[in-house]
Structure 1
Amino acid sequence: MGAPFCILVLFLLPSSPFSSSEVPHSLTQGSSLSVERQNHDVLLSPNGLFSAGFHSVGDNSYCFAIWFTEPLYNGNHTVVWMANRDEPVNGKLSTLSLLRNANLVNLVLTDAGQLTIWSANTGSIGSASVVQLQLQNNGNLVLITSGGVTLWQSFHSPTDTLLPNQPLTRDTVLISSRSQTNHSSGFYNLHFDNDNILRLVFHGPDISSVYWPSPGVPSLQTGRYMYNTSRSAILDESGRFMSSDDFNFTATDFGVGPQRRMAIDEDGNLRLYSLDEKRRRWVVSWQAMAQPCLIHGVCGLNGLCTYVPQENSGRRCSCIPGYKVKNDTDWSYGCEQEFDLSGNMDEYGFVELPNVEFYGYDNVFLTNYTLKSCEELCLKDPGCRGFQYKDQNLCYVKSQLRNGRRISSNLLFSMYIKLPKRELSTYDKPAQQFTFNCSGQLGVQLYRPYEKSHENGILKFMLWFATATGGVEIMLILLVWCFLSRTQKKSHETVQGYNYVDCGFKRFTYAELKKASRNFGEEIGRGGGGVVYKGTLSDNRVVAIKRLDEANQGEAEFLAEVSTIGRLNHMNLIEMWGYCAEGKHRLLVYEYMEHGSLAENLNADTLDWEKRFDIALGTAKGLAYLHEECLEWVLHCDVKPHNILLDSNYQPKVSDFGLSKLLNRSGENNPSFSRIRGTRGYMAPEWVSNLPITSKVDVYSYGVVVLEIVAGKWATTGVDTIGGDEGEVEQTRLIKWVRERMNNGVAVTSSIGEIIAPTINGNYDTRKMEIMVGVALQCVEEDKNGRPTMSQVVEMLLHHQNDN
């Protein structure tokens, strides 16, 4: 009886147009893809980069989607398009079918074999034409005829992602997901507005507002050109984005190579990502908003956003005084008031929130108004919820409190919240703060159960009984295990130290790192506030262990700094694997770089001109990321060959990035640092001239390093004397000497030949070496305003690289 039964089962299984051993690139007319065979009924692009099929988005909920075939480090696939993101289908009997009726062709997504959820209507075609659904190498899903006519394509109806060479037009919109786990349409979109400007817009449940480019700045001042009706933009494979409104940018890792995608994320920010193949992670190579609190709607009505780089989202939400959170897992709901505003004006007063701003919704804007007059105006207005008072004479009366943010500023302005007088004393303390939940699910996942028409009652009871019995046994085992392990937990954590901070790297004990480094016996580098030792962990990984000189931070402050640095993620930055914060000991654990530092290799024959150019370019990319792409901008403050490490392929990785943040946090808005930082010979004039310190100090140091890369060991003579004047003298001589050689009017070949390191032996690309020297000389201009930014340096080097 067994054999006939198996044959019967095979006949009853849903049919598939493919065999399990062959993954197709196309779907022919009259065929279907089944949700019940989502692991087999998958379309694959010819190059294998993209896959299309049914993708699980919840409990028994599926969307037809396109994703990158290779999973990330955590096993997840990156989805780039969905057909039915707002109406998932059932996990039973749902299909995607390519149907043809006479000359009409239609691509139909059916839920549970009954309801049509989505379709791509294509109109009438010739009777002789054969139609196929194909997944192309660029990730575009196309419905195409045998004559090469495209009837429909996914590139014309994007969801939240733009792929290279996918056009963004007047008819297309990128819409964010609701959250990282809820793929339905969210509140943020990117599109061309009626003024022909590419904009980011918040479309909330009850209001809409533009937040990028800054709505308070005229378009021309933001570099946008509205007098062009083409409304088109495109991202190319090199990481260059070009828009008809003159908004253009290039990725920090500009150049053909890594896989890229641009996405409007669930937090409302527009980002360009590059795939780090080695670590299988997406790395941000550009983003629209460096300050996440400027994105509208992030904390909802009556919510206040505070910039907190230690949080995964870079921000934290709280309710203003007198208000309570509606839903602490979804801040889009904002906060609701805990009082009544229907009394007489003499029953109300105000709570001052210094350095807090709420954007928009001004009932009245008045100049030359005193604080007292502004208060009286708000008290008389029943619709006033508070007022903004700026610069001692500007009064903004608010009808709604939206887009609130806390600003670190020396400007004189405050927000005054209107509250009953009897409540004012309650709000002397700061308002309660809640972490913005950027990773949690917003809303409820859709559940689409498929109930079978016949069930065996006895079998169901037996299954239930076995499950219940097994559950009881498991609970008993867990209780015993918890009891035994609970008494050992504290001592185990103290001895092993396997604790993790937000970004997921390991917390080591001091004893572990002392053992791994053989009592800190093999020094491989020093500088930047500490000594670096080579070590081998218990899992045989070779690491670099940096022992910080200054250990005067509290543990909480140190962990906050480590969390910030740990989230820096770029292929040209050294990767941190762990840390130690124990007593006065503060140590950082980094990946080990096989070829040591650039300083050790400057005079090596292994560094030919191509490697030197790549080192200069990679270093520029890493610094550009630190300056412009991080949630919290980081100044390196000690760029030199000793802090540029080389991996097994001689690719550069900047180390000691963020050291100034670790020891004493200071940002771009600070006029000065508490002490001079860096190494003589590489320090910008601002350090000794008492001028404001900006990212241009790193640009200057980078320029000196590039001159050393070109000139080789000669340029480092005397520079290693840290703290003395020889390095500064050599630096000045080097810059002056190179400038004289480049401006002496002789042939370029002769000039470069005098500058090039002898180890290159005359084998080099004259044009590229000349470009390197020219860029370096721009970077070492005395006036910081004459120096380019690091992203401009990257663009200049890549431009000339591609020209060749």
Structure 2
Amino acid sequence: MDNDGNLRIYSTSESSGNITPTWAAVTDQCQVYGFCGNMGVCGYKDSNPVCGCPSQNFDPVDEHDGRKGCRRKVEIEDCPGDVTMLQLEHTKFLTYPPEVNDQTFIVGSVACRMNCLVSGSCIGSTLVADGSGICYMKTTDFVSGYQGAVLPSTSFLKVCGQAVPNPSSYLDTSGNDNDSLLHAMVIVVVVLVTLLSLFAIVTGFWCWFYGGSKKSRRMSAQYELVDYASGAPVKFSYKELQHSTKGFSESLGEGGFGVVYKGTLANRMVIAVKQLEGIEQGEMQFRMEVATISSTHHLNLVRLVGFCSDGRHRLLVYEFLRSGSLDKFLFTSNDQSEKLLTWENRFNIALGTGRGITYLHEECRDCIIHCDIKPENILLDEGYTAKVSDFGLAKLMNPKDHRHLSLASIRGTRGYLAPEWLANHPITSKCDVYSYGMVLLEIVSGRRNFEVSPETDGKKFSLWAYLEFEKGHTEAIVDKRIKDVDSEEAERAIMVSFWCIQEQPSQRPMMGKVVQMLEGVIDIERPPAPKLVAEGLSSGTAMTVNSDVSGLQTYAASTPAPSSSSSFMNIGASPPTPEREMGKESSSLLGSK
């Protein structure tokens, strides 16, 4: 092992006594992990490897020895201002397989950068720009970079304040002409092969489409959107998923559109498979979810791995999160103290959930309304990072038209439904804000918002909580089972929750502002007393109301809300009976431990 970190075999000439290397473990010296030290970037100059710093936001550890690495001028934890992402073109961060397996995602450039920026554990990320869309995040304290003119990758690195790139001549890689020419030739060959393959696929599809039966052509047109969406997630056959789930034997839960099963792929990746039921409803759910979920990538959203469109079978494949859903941790009994979340966990979950919903509302090309925010649809990974799940109820909204006039089905969970849902008022992103407010109150208290008990004087908990808040008894609202509660954060969360559950949508803040209030970035005014939904519409059981599009009425915002019974009549459904109130148990994409 040489002092440059590479392993070589040398031979000695008997005649001259010269020692020459005959073999090296790594032929490209810049590929040796840590060759340029921590935060160092390796490149070539005159065919020799040279080390430098990523940008002018860094200083070399030793001015005379670039291999000792670099350090930030201002460390992230000491940053007085905003943390930004430095973008490094034609650069990749070297990794070892163990960290790659846990931190690899298939996303776009923006998501690769933003997911790292919002993650407290991520230092940098690399997007492989070879068409695969693979992004891997660096969560270790050691970053080893490699920069080359023909490297098909872009990397991002956290810095304090504005990123200040190096001069273009700082790390000159033009000296490695032979390697560059070789890489360029390889890229040309790959591009040509790819184009020829695409041509063959298109030709085959054309022959199949125009040579097939009329029925086949109708089915192809019917699922055109799904075929288009298959470029991002993996397309599985029904037999593959049947084998992965052992014949769909291990059920994780049942929802309105089908059962969710646990499975394992050939590469040992554990998945959650949602088997959609009913060709009409299943198709609608399938077309919507594949089109929307596959285009959304965020740290706080459950990732869609793939789908199946095999004959009449419609299935969705999600990542499997072992910790399960939030409700299993909030509403635990006293003998399940091992599942009790700390205050720090709870506050981070509240923030993560808010950021995920903010992404859906404000950062996607089209506003995506979830329509069923509740603890059962907030899933946790092993580090208790919140991930919003179940986009089956989401509706894509035109940002220029905040009304959605084609809701073919109204679905949600009572206790979390905004008043306008049942009053036939326009459905906007403020409905999710209301639901989030109820969930936030439950995160703080560990109790269902619709719970009625002697301790709450026979009132619903959400109403009783506001009365206690008015008296200045915020400690009475906080879950008494947890210790070391940050009283300032708790009061902030309680005030935000009451702002979110205001009856009038115009009084509720946007989700982006909700997150800022929770973070303490902006001040929070004292919230007015929220007028809660009528008692009969807030019992907390699952509710599904289906109707024809023609049966839906939308009212102007100034129109008085009809009563609970009339709202059911307006949408063409009768008031719920006890049997209908039971509903189906909400499906979680995950299993609990």
Which of the two has greater strand per residue? 1
How far did 1:588 drift? 0.9
Report 1:496-511 matches (<5 A).
502-511=230-239
Which range moves more in the overlay, 544-553 or 676-685? 544-553
The equivalent of 1:310 in structure 2 is none
How far did 1:784 drift? 1.7
* Of 743, 754, 767, the match for 2:476: 754
Taking a change above 3 Å as real, the CA distance of residues 261 and 645 of structure 1, as seen in their structure-2 partners, is: closer
The equivalent of 2:41 in structure 1 is 51
Instruction: Output the CA distance in 2 between the equivalents of 1:752 and 1:252.
Output: 35
Instruction: Output the CA distance in 1 between the equivalents of 2:323 and 2:304.
Output: 18
The equivalent of 1:366 in structure 2 is none
Are 1:671 and 2:399 counterparts? no
Structure with the greater alpha carbon radius of gyration: 1
The equivalent of 2:463 in structure 1 is 736
Are 1:140 and 2:150 counterparts? no
Q: Report if the CA contact (8 A) 1:41-1:53 is conserved.
A: no
Taking a change above 3 Å as real, the CA distance of residues 765 and 138 of structure 1, as seen in their structure-2 partners, is: farther
Are 1:517 and 2:435 counterparts? no
The equivalent of 1:793 in structure 2 is 514
The equivalent of 2:361 in structure 1 is 627
How far did 1:703 drift? 0.7
The equivalent of 2:431 in structure 1 is 697
Are 1:590 and 2:322 counterparts? no
How far did 1:585 drift? 2.3
Taking a change above 3 Å as real, the CA distance of residues 645 and 707 of structure 1, as seen in their structure-2 partners, is: same
Q: Report if the CA contact (8 A) 2:273-2:317 is conserved.
A: yes
Q: Report if the CA contact (8 A) 1:252-1:624 is conserved.
A: no
Instruction: Output the CA distance in 2 between the equivalents of 1:771 and 1:40.
Output: 49
Instruction: Output the CA distance in 2 between the equivalents of 1:792 and 1:618.
Output: 14
Report 1:315-464 matches (<5 A).
none
Bigger RCO of structures 1 and 2 (CA < 8 A, at least 6 apart) = 2
- Residue 3 of structure 1 aligns with an amino acid whose one-letter code is S
Instruction: Output the CA distance in 2 between the equivalents of 1:145 and 1:2.
Output: 36
- Residue 534 of structure 1 aligns with an amino acid whose one-letter code is K
Are 1:775 and 2:503 counterparts? no
Instruction: Output the CA distance in 2 between the equivalents of 1:716 and 1:281.
Output: 49
How far did 1:756 drift? 2.2
Instruction: Output the CA distance in 2 between the equivalents of 1:765 and 1:614.
Output: 12
Q: Report if the CA contact (8 A) 2:373-2:416 is conserved.
A: yes
- Residue 140 of structure 1 aligns with an amino acid whose one-letter code is F
- Residue 785 of structure 1 aligns with an amino acid whose one-letter code is S
Are 1:259 and 2:130 counterparts? no
Taking a change above 3 Å as real, the CA distance of residues 507 and 447 of structure 1, as seen in their structure-2 partners, is: farther
Report 1:20-59 matches (<5 A).
38-39=30-31, 44=36, 48-54=38-44
The equivalent of 1:473 in structure 2 is none
- Residue 263 of structure 2 aligns with an amino acid whose one-letter code is G
- Residue 738 of structure 1 aligns with an amino acid whose one-letter code is A
The equivalent of 1:784 in structure 2 is 505
Q: Report if the CA contact (8 A) 2:41-2:54 is conserved.
A: no
Instruction: Output the CA distance in 1 between the equivalents of 2:430 and 2:346.
Output: 23
Q: Report if the CA contact (8 A) 2:12-2:18 is conserved.
A: no
Instruction: Output the CA distance in 2 between the equivalents of 1:770 and 1:96.
Output: 56
C-alpha distance after superposition, 1:155-184 (max 9, x if no partner): 9xxxxxxx987899xxxxx9x98xx99xxx
Are 1:643 and 2:368 counterparts? no
Q: Report if the CA contact (8 A) 1:547-1:588 is conserved.
A: yes
Instruction: Output the CA distance in 1 between the equivalents of 2:495 and 2:13.
Output: 80
Q: Report if the CA contact (8 A) 2:85-2:156 is conserved.
A: no
Q: Report if the CA contact (8 A) 1:252-1:791 is conserved.
A: no
Q: Report if the CA contact (8 A) 1:609-1:764 is conserved.
A: yes
Report 1:37-116 matches (<5 A).
38-39=30-31, 44=36, 48-54=38-44, 93=46
TM-score (norm 1): 0.40
How far did 1:795 drift? 2.2
Match of 2:350, SS?
helix
C-alpha distance after superposition, 1:630-678 (max 9, x if no partner): 33432211111111112222222111136435xxx54443512343232
C-alpha distance after superposition, 1:77-127 (max 9, x if no partner): xxxxxxxxxxxxxxxx45699xxxxxxxxxxxxxxxxxxxxxxxxxxxxxx
Match of 1:634, SS?
strand
- Residue 324 of structure 2 aligns with an amino acid whose one-letter code is G
Mark the runs of 5 or more structure 2 residues left unpaired by the alignment: 1-10, 65-70, 74-80, 92-112, 130-134, 141-152, 159-173, 180-199, 209-226, 523-593
Taking a change above 3 Å as real, the CA distance of residues 145 and 574 of structure 1, as seen in their structure-2 partners, is: closer
Mark the runs of 5 or more structure 1 residues left unpaired by the alignment: 14-19, 22-34, 55-63, 65-92, 98-132, 147-152, 156-162, 169-173, 182-238, 240-249, 266-272, 286-445, 452-481, 491-498, 719-729
Taking a change above 3 Å as real, the CA distance of residues 52 and 582 of structure 1, as seen in their structure-2 partners, is: same
Which of the two has greater helix per residue? 2
Instruction: Output the CA distance in 2 between the equivalents of 1:681 and 1:283.
Output: 42
Match of 1:577, SS?
strand
Taking a change above 3 Å as real, the CA distance of residues 658 and 695 of structure 1, as seen in their structure-2 partners, is: farther
How far did 1:256 drift? 4.8
How far did 1:752 drift? 2.6
The equivalent of 1:186 in structure 2 is none
Taking a change above 3 Å as real, the CA distance of residues 770 and 7 of structure 1, as seen in their structure-2 partners, is: farther
Instruction: Output the CA distance in 1 between the equivalents of 2:385 and 2:510.
Output: 22
Match of 2:447, SS?
helix
Instruction: Output the CA distance in 2 between the equivalents of 1:566 and 1:778.
Output: 32
Q: Report if the CA contact (8 A) 1:510-1:585 is conserved.
A: yes
How far did 1:563 drift? 4.8
Are 1:3 and 2:13 counterparts? yes
The equivalent of 1:108 in structure 2 is none
Instruction: Output the CA distance in 2 between the equivalents of 1:546 and 1:540.
Output: 18
Instruction: Output the CA distance in 2 between the equivalents of 1:526 and 1:758.
Output: 32
Taking a change above 3 Å as real, the CA distance of residues 138 and 776 of structure 1, as seen in their structure-2 partners, is: farther
Are 1:682 and 2:400 counterparts? no
Instruction: Output the CA distance in 1 between the equivalents of 2:365 and 2:350.
Output: 24
C-alpha distance after superposition, 1:44-85 (max 9, x if no partner): 2x5x2341323xxxxxxxxx7xxxxxxxxxxxxxxxxxxxxx
The equivalent of 1:308 in structure 2 is none
Instruction: Output the CA distance in 1 between the equivalents of 2:349 and 2:418.
Output: 21
Instruction: Output the CA distance in 1 between the equivalents of 2:72 and 2:445.
Output: 52
Q: Report if the CA contact (8 A) 1:572-1:618 is conserved.
A: yes
- Residue 764 of structure 1 aligns with an amino acid whose one-letter code is V
Q: Report if the CA contact (8 A) 1:528-1:659 is conserved.
A: no
Number of aligned positions between the proteins: 387
User: Identity across aligned pairs (percent)?
Assistant: 34
Q: Report if the CA contact (8 A) 1:284-1:629 is conserved.
A: no
Q: Report if the CA contact (8 A) 2:366-2:397 is conserved.
A: no
TM-score (norm 2): 0.53
Instruction: Output the CA distance in 1 between the equivalents of 2:59 and 2:388.
Output: 40
- Residue 620 of structure 1 aligns with an amino acid whose one-letter code is G
Q: What is the RMSD of the two structures over their aligned residues, measured on CA atoms? A: 5.3
Taking a change above 3 Å as real, the CA distance of residues 139 and 800 of structure 1, as seen in their structure-2 partners, is: closer
- Residue 535 of structure 1 aligns with an amino acid whose one-letter code is G
Taking a change above 3 Å as real, the CA distance of residues 577 and 636 of structure 1, as seen in their structure-2 partners, is: same
